[in-house]
Amino acid sequence: MRISTAQMNFNGIQGFRKHTEDLYNIQEKLSSGKRVNTPGDDPVAAARIYTLDKSIKQLDQWNANGVYAQGKLELEDITLTNFTEVIQRVRELTVYGMNDTQNITGRRAIAAEMRGLLENLKALANTQDSNGEYVFSGDKSTTPAYQAVTASNVSQLSTGLQAPQPTNYFTVGTGAAITINRFDGVPTTVTPAANQIVDNFNAKLYTLNPATQTYEDASGEALYAYTGAHSGARFVQLSPDNDHVDNSNDNGDAARVRVSDMGAKTFGNYSKSSATPWQPSYALDKTPQLNYNAFDTIREAINQLETGQRATGTSSLDNLLVEMDTTLNAISKTHADVGTRLQRIDMQNSMNQDFKLGLSSSLALMQDQDLVSGINQYQKILTSLQMSQQTFAKISELSLFNYIR
Amino acid sequence: MADLLLTASSGLRAFQQALNVTGHNIANVNTEGYNRQRLDIGSGTPQLSAGGYVGTGARTTSINRVYQEYLSNQLNSSYTAQSKYNNIDVYSTQLNGTLGNPEVGISAGMQSMFKAWNAMSNDPTNSTSPRFLLDSHAQLAMQVENYDSLRSDLHDQVNGQLSSSVTQVNRIMNELVALNQSLGSLNQRAELPANDLLDKRDQLIKDLNKYIDTKVFQNKDGTIDVYSSDGKIPLITDNRAIPLYTKESPMEKFDLVNGAPIKSQQLEIYIQMPGTSRETLVSGNIRGGEIGGALAFRKDQLMRAEDELGLSITGMSIAMNAQHRQGYDASGVRGADLFSLNGKPPVLMANASSYSNSSNTGSGSVSITGTPAAEFAYKLTYNGLPADTYDITDAYSNAVITAGVTAAALAGGVTYHGVTIANGGGVSQKGDSFVVYTTTDFHKSLEQSAYKDKRNSGTLTNNDISINLNKQGLSVNPTDLSNPADLAQVQKQLALLQPRTYSMSFDGSFYTVSDARTGQIITLDSTTTAANVTTLRFEGLQVDIDQNTRQMNPGDKFEFRFLDDAVSQFSSSLSNPDKVAYRGGDLSTTPVGSKPLAIGNNVNAANLASLQDKKLLNNGQNTFKAAYSVMVGNVGSYHQTNEVSMQTQDAVNSQLTQVKDSISGVNLDEEAANMLRFQQAYQAAAQIMQASQRIFDTIIGALN
């Protein structure tokens, strides 16, 4: 074949161009450490990289959610541990006070200690997290879980989230006699004065203290009621959700973990619901007890110990002990539940980590440059470039004109 | 008798000519488009003398270029393809380069937005959560804007190149016409070709092919006709150049309010046949050269990427707006739009909304009538007996609007911003509260107008046509989306959206909608006409054509760039962190969800965060980010395919160049050898002259 001078130059330049371009490409890959630097390097891999990156970020997000949930639940866990310890001490003291060897002074001393513990329990039930949210108020997280019943909030104490309550906890007195259908089915007639409220559940009377504006029992102890939410809870997503919907009920779904609890369920002996009054929303192990919550129960126990008498019937200390056990049961149920949730977060997080490891290694496989083969290739291209430079230099020296003198 | 002197001098002349040609070859060794030339030398006519015919020396017959026409044609067509792919590569590399890293750009923007929604869901009452959230929205809007400016920058680059290339094409055509003229007069004698002029013309055609693909036809008179696009576009006929020119695309859109053009126009290429006033749009036909490359990039990569990105952004905005409207903010007001797709201020609904708080103990309620004149959200609180009054406060600032509105006054109705609030029956208890608020129209933040073809003869303007998400199947129209069933319906329509720019034509009775890029005819779900408004429904969209004041004529064309326009107008429309609707609606109320859940509820924020991995787009196949990665994949594969074509064309071109150079190129060694050969022959011929001289001298001497 005839070769023209232009061809010779063209060939040489073509070689330089190709090798320089290859060198540039491999250098880009080696210096970034990535095989795919732009989608054009490998479009299929690029789309996959985006998807993998999205999945990894998603797992990171779920893990971050898990860490958040853990923080919240651990606070709950510690609070419940403390609460249990305190209430067990209260129970011990009650048993101690029931002892026939105790005289009235001893019982009063015991009652005084129990009063201190009661304040402690109230504080624990109103524990706030670092954001100032009340841990045991459910969705009404900006309202304390338990509050003293006052003249201003007594009318609001039927708050529930589901539907307006047909009956309130309390009836405000007018001086007229009213008949209360007690929880145990015994109709009781009471006559509350205008400054008194009657408990619709057990027909007890509480009087307004003009100084504190709170309703108090005969011993001057304020009445406490649950003011948090009765339904609805916060759920945090930990894993893929099939329907991608968080429903506004207490059920949540398999992908989410509950991070808020309701005091009524945790510390209550009883709770009310929307259906008919005085039915528990959450089934408890025991039959309904006399008092709404642990605070009522302990207050009753303190009252009895202070009077130095042992009442009989439903308000007897024996019955109050049973109620304390009910509370302890309810707490231990929530406590166990919190523990299970914490464990679930742990498990889900380590599962997410494993999954992420898998995804990351496929991402690396997809995206990262194999350094050994890259350097090998780099050497090869460099050698080729040098070779084409040298041959071009040699060939361009050849010319017949050099020999014509 | 043969004259030795003349014979010798004919040789001298021939070899001098040959040396000239060799010198010409050597001088042009590096001339672009030069074909080596050869001198044909023939023997002179013999003369009869005693003993036979005696030659009379050499004669130069012609100087020919060593040239293969078919090679030249092949080279031109590979050159135009190579130049096209090279040009696409220049643009494609820019687009491709911005999409390589999922850690930056729109994808990362979406990621951090959903991260902020997760934080909002985890920590709804924390006052920093909504602020971070709105920051992330602004960030995303900025990322989209960055992309939008890159996109319009690429459009500007294409426009710029089209006009400069067209100038080049016209210049080359004029040179060709001039050359054609001289060749036409010179080339009368085919046996004496004007080699260098022909080379120059070939080179000009090659230059032309750099910008546009051509087909060349030889005329008998030695001139050529040049056509482009397989003969569809005449460039030079009858030795007259038909210049190309660029002008804005016939598709235009003007703002409804101030009549300003909405977006920078794309340039298209036109020709006007001499002697007529009709201009023809030819950019759709040009396939090769830099012009063909720029047009192909614009149509096949840039505009496609715009539509695909548009789908991802539009789908995300619509889904998030719809979901946000399911929830309530901390003040108990229903969520409004998070994003706007047309940059217009929100439009208030004709009716305000109200509810009595879930925590109310009484059965009291409020009723509302009248059309709101301004946006507001008020809370009414009952003070109880014996005062029997209501305090009206702003739901957000708690500022007192009117204190102590008596029950009697409320029974008669109190009016604010055109809305009359009255007692709706029932008995209120002390502390009971009621919320009255206005909402905005969901569809008004999505609505886009059409693009009108300037050449339409009808009077219908672009603003007479509105494009929106298909509203069919929604409970109320227009709607605030307060019904959860409407959310499901919106999501259903989202799944039907396709990454397309549509063009619509009207033949007098029927409307035809097709994909503007591929020309594929789109099947319409329905065409209905009511009160002179024709509604076309297709692929999750609804187009309303209002012909009440202005009309369409048969043959009129419009274009719908719903998704593309949405990206350029995309903005975050929620700026008040107090208005983040993180809590859910109470599903046990009638109508469903008409009251908010408690203040610490996170259901709506959780649902918004969950949209991240909900497969809402492309018939339920893709999440927003997956739709985005489809765009990335397509940009990448277009780039890669183009790169492969470019390499193939490079190889073809270099192969052909090799073959052509092998035949037509100058080889210096060969020329050196020729030079020696002709030099020696010249010297020999001179010797003959000397010999003839000597013979003459001998004879003269003998005579003396």
- Any A CB within 8 A of B431 CB: yes
Question: Which residue in the set B126, B597, B640 is minimally distant from A248, CB to CB?
Answer: B597
Which residues in chain B have Cβ-Cβ distances shorter than 8 Å to A7? Answer: 658, 661-662, 665
Residue in A closest to B432 by C-alpha: A156
What pLDDT is attached to residue B581? 94
- How far are the Cα atoms of A55, A138, B612, B644 from residue A345, in angstroms, in the given order? 19, 20, 21, 50
B219 and B148 assigned to the same domain:
yes
Of all residues in chain B, what percent carry a pLDDT higher than 70? 98
A140 and A251 assigned to the same domain:
yes
User: For B187-196, what is the mean pLDDT?
Assistant: 69
Question: Which residue in the set A36, A40, A246 is minimally distant from B606, CB to CB?
Answer: A246
Question: Which residue in the set B121, B597, B629 is minimally distant from A161, CB to CB?
Answer: B597
CA distance A81 to B157: 69
B19 and B84 assigned to the same domain:
no
Closest CA to B375 of B415, B413, B348: B348
B680 and B694 assigned to the same domain:
yes
Which residues in chain B have Cβ-Cβ distances shorter than 8 Å to A44? Answer: 633, 637
What pLDDT is attached to residue A265? 76
Closest CA to B640 of B99, B213, B156: B99
More confidently predicted of B457 and A169: B457
Segment among A185-189, B262-266, B290-294, B307-311 with least mean pLDDT: B262-266
At B224, is the secondary structure helix, strand, or coil? strand
Segment among A154-158, A264-268, A361-365, B168-172 with least mean pLDDT: A154-158
Joined tokens for residue B396: 């957000």
A153 and A292 assigned to the same domain:
yes
For the packed helices A294-307 and A104-125, what is the interaxial angle rounded to 10 degrees? 160
CA distance B101 to A367: 11
- How far are the Cα atoms of A288, B159, B209, B364 from residue B291, in angstroms, in the given order? 86, 10, 10, 73
Give, in degrees to the nearest 5, the angle at Cα B604 between B600 and B606.
90
* Shortest distance, CA A280 to any CA of chain B (angstroms): 19
A268 and A388 assigned to the same domain:
no
A296 and A399 assigned to the same domain:
no
Is the pLDDT reported for residue B103 higher than 70? Answer: yes
CA distance B169 to B166: 5
Whether B678 is covered by a domain: the verdict is: yes
More confidently predicted of A246 and B676: B676
Is the pLDDT reported for residue B580 higher than 90? Answer: yes
Whether B478 is covered by a domain: the verdict is: no
What pLDDT is attached to residue A315? 67
B184 and B240 assigned to the same domain:
yes
Of all residues in chain B, what percent carry a pLDDT higher than 90? 50
**CB proximity under 8 Å: B 76-135 to A:** 92-93, 96-97, 99-100, 102-103, 107, 111, 114-115, 118, 121-126
**CB proximity under 8 Å: B 367-396 to A:** 384
Q: What is the mean pLDDT of chain B?
A: 89
B258 CB-near residues (< 8 Å, 6+ apart): none
More confidently predicted of B18 and A260: B18
Contact B122 A69 (CB under 8 A): yes
At B487, is the secondary structure helix, strand, or coil? helix
CA distance A69 to A234: 10
Contact B118 A61 (CB under 8 A): yes
Whether A80 is covered by a domain: the verdict is: yes
Contact B599 A64 (CB under 8 A): no
More confidently predicted of B222 and B146: B146
- How far are the Cα atoms of A162, B217, B304 from residue B631, in angstroms, in the given order? 46, 43, 8
What pLDDT is attached to residue A275? 33
Contact between A231 and A249 under an 8 Å Cβ cutoff? The reply is yes
- How far are the Cα atoms of A47, B96, B514, B517 from residue B634, in angstroms, in the given order? 9, 10, 21, 15
Contact between B416 and B378 under an 8 Å Cβ cutoff? The reply is yes
* Shortest distance, CA A129 to any CA of chain B (angstroms): 11
Joined tokens for residue B664: 């037509």
- Any B CB within 8 A of A269 CB: no
Contact A4 B664 (CB under 8 A): yes
Whether B375 is covered by a domain: the verdict is: no
Contact A236 B114 (CB under 8 A): no
**Cβ-based neighbour number of residue B41 at 10 Å:** 18
At A17, is the secondary structure helix, strand, or coil? helix
User: For A209-223, what is the mean pLDDT?
Assistant: 84
- Interface pTM, i.e. ipTM: 0.79
Structural domain range at position B19: 4-66+665-703
Q: Report pLDDT digits (tens) over A371-381.
A: 899 999 999 99
Q: Report pLDDT digits (tens) over B196-247.
A: 888 999 999 999 999 999 999 988 888 889 999 888 899 998 888 999 999 8
Sheet hosting strand B251-252, strand order edge to edge: B251-252, B451-453, B557-560, B502-506, B511-515
A175 and A284 assigned to the same domain:
yes
Number of structural domains in chain A:
2
Q: Report pLDDT digits (tens) over B498-508.
A: 999 999 999 98
Residue in A closest to B428 by C-alpha: A155
CA distance A214 to A153: 10
- Any B CB within 8 A of A138 CB: yes
Residue in B closest to A17 by C-alpha: B650
B199 and B250 assigned to the same domain:
yes
Tell me how long chain A is: 405
What pLDDT is attached to residue A382? 93
Residue A98, CB-side half-sphere exposure with 13 Å CA sphere: 15
Whether A44 is covered by a domain: the verdict is: no
B88 and B38 assigned to the same domain:
no
* Shortest distance, CA A372 to any CA of chain B (angstroms): 23
**CB proximity under 8 Å: B 546-585 to A:** 583-585
More confidently predicted of A244 and B512: B512
Contact between A327 and A269 under an 8 Å Cβ cutoff? The reply is yes
Closest CA to B140 of B312, B365, B17: B312
Segment among A117-126, A274-283, B491-500, B642-651 with least mean pLDDT: A274-283
Which residues in chain B have Cβ-Cβ distances shorter than 8 Å to A141? Answer: 125, 598-600
Strands B37-43 and B58-65 come out as antiparallel
Is the pLDDT reported for residue B594 higher than 90? Answer: no
Residue in A closest to B666 by C-alpha: A4
Q: Which residue has tokens 């396939």?
A: B287
A17 and A66 assigned to the same domain:
no
Contact A155 B607 (CB under 8 A): no
Contact B607 A58 (CB under 8 A): no
B122 and B192 assigned to the same domain:
yes
A152 and A10 assigned to the same domain:
no
- Any B CB within 8 A of A164 CB: yes
Which CATH number goes with the domain that contains A126? 1.20.1330.10
**CB proximity under 8 Å: B 241-300 to A:** none
What pLDDT is attached to residue B191? 61
Contact A404 B603 (CB under 8 A): no
Number of structural domains in chain B:
2
- Any B CB within 8 A of A260 CB: yes
What pLDDT is attached to residue A186? 73
B556 CB-near residues (< 8 Å, 6+ apart): B453, B456, B457, B458, B460, B505, B506
Contact between B656 and B78 under an 8 Å Cβ cutoff? The reply is yes
Tell which of B306, B329, B344 closes a domain.
B306
B100 and B26 assigned to the same domain:
no
**CB proximity under 8 Å: B 614-633 to A:** 614, 623, 625-626, 628-630, 632-633
**CB proximity under 8 Å: A 94-133 to B:** 131-133
Whether A38 is covered by a domain: the verdict is: no
B35 and B76 assigned to the same domain:
no
Give, in degrees to the nearest 5, the angle at Cα B563 between B280 and B249.
15
What pLDDT is attached to residue A10? 83
Is the pLDDT reported for residue B496 higher than 50? Answer: yes
Joined tokens for residue A211: 């100084």
B100 and B86 assigned to the same domain:
yes
Helix ranges, A33-103 (H) = 43-98
A74 and A179 assigned to the same domain:
yes
Q: Report pLDDT digits (tens) over B609-622.
A: 999 888 999 898 88
B9 and B104 assigned to the same domain:
no
Is the pLDDT reported for residue A161 higher than 60? Answer: no
Strands B353-356 and B433-437 come out as antiparallel
Is the pLDDT reported for residue A289 higher than 70? Answer: no
Question: Which residue in the set B600, B607, B670 is minimally distant from A245, CB to CB?
Answer: B607
What pLDDT is attached to residue A290? 56
Structural domain range at position A324: 53-358
For B599-626, the DSSP string reads TT--HHHHHHHHGGG---BTTTTB-HHH
A18 CB-near residues (< 8 Å, 6+ apart): none
Measured over the CA atoms of residue B302, residue B303, residue B309 and residue B313, the dihedral's sign is positive
CA distance B299 to B287: 12
Question: Which residue in the set B583, B623, B661 is minimally distant from A7, CB to CB?
Answer: B661
Sheet hosting strand B377-382, strand order edge to edge: B353-356, B433-437, B377-382, B389-394, B400-406
What pLDDT is attached to residue B99? 78
Contact between B215 and B287 under an 8 Å Cβ cutoff? The reply is no
Written as one letter, the residue type at B209 is: N
Q: Which residue has tokens 């005084």?
A: A112
* Shortest distance, CA B654 to any CA of chain A (angstroms): 9
Question: Which residue in the set B114, B126, B675 is minimally distant from A131, CB to CB?
Answer: B126
Tell me how long chain B is: 704
B110 and B62 assigned to the same domain:
no
Whether A76 is covered by a domain: the verdict is: yes
Closest CA to B322 of B491, B444, B469: B491
Containing H/E element for B668? Answer: helix B668-703
Contact B586 A248 (CB under 8 A): yes
Is the pLDDT reported for residue A157 higher than 70? Answer: no
A353 and A399 assigned to the same domain:
no
Q: Report pLDDT digits (tens) over B26-66.
A: 999 888 889 999 999 998 888 888 888 888 888 888 888 88
Contact A140 B609 (CB under 8 A): no
Whether A375 is covered by a domain: the verdict is: yes
- How far are the Cα atoms of B332, B348, B476, B482 from residue B485, in angstroms, in the given order? 21, 22, 11, 9
What pLDDT is attached to residue B384? 83
What pLDDT is attached to residue A273? 34
Band of the pLDDT at A272, cuts 50, 70, 90? very low
CA distance A102 to A93: 11
At A129, is the secondary structure helix, strand, or coil? coil
* Shortest distance, CA B459 to any CA of chain A (angstroms): 45
Is the pLDDT reported for residue B265 higher than 60? Answer: yes
- Any A CB within 8 A of B673 CB: yes
A9 and A89 assigned to the same domain:
no
Question: Which residue in the set B122, B614, B635 is minimally distant from A65, CB to CB?
Answer: B122
Is the pLDDT reported for residue B473 higher than 70? Answer: yes
Is the pLDDT reported for residue A233 higher than 80? Answer: no
What pLDDT is attached to residue B294? 95
- Any A CB within 8 A of B667 CB: yes
What pLDDT is attached to residue A319? 79
What pLDDT is attached to residue B120? 93
Which residues in chain A have Cβ-Cβ distances shorter than 8 Å to B102? Answer: 49-50, 53-54
Q: Which residue has tokens 């108990």?
A: B332
Closest CA to B117 of A249, A72, A242, A61: A61
Written as one letter, the residue type at A361 is: S
User: For B507-530, what is the mean pLDDT?
Assistant: 91
User: For A294-301, what is the mean pLDDT?
Assistant: 84
Whether A253 is covered by a domain: the verdict is: yes
Contact A236 B36 (CB under 8 A): no
Strands A178-181 and B267-272 come out as unpaired
CA distance B598 to B124: 11
A353 and A373 assigned to the same domain:
no
Joined tokens for residue A333: 């149920």
A301 and A374 assigned to the same domain:
no
Residue B482, CB-side half-sphere exposure with 13 Å CA sphere: 26
- Any A CB within 8 A of B424 CB: no
More confidently predicted of A41 and A277: A41
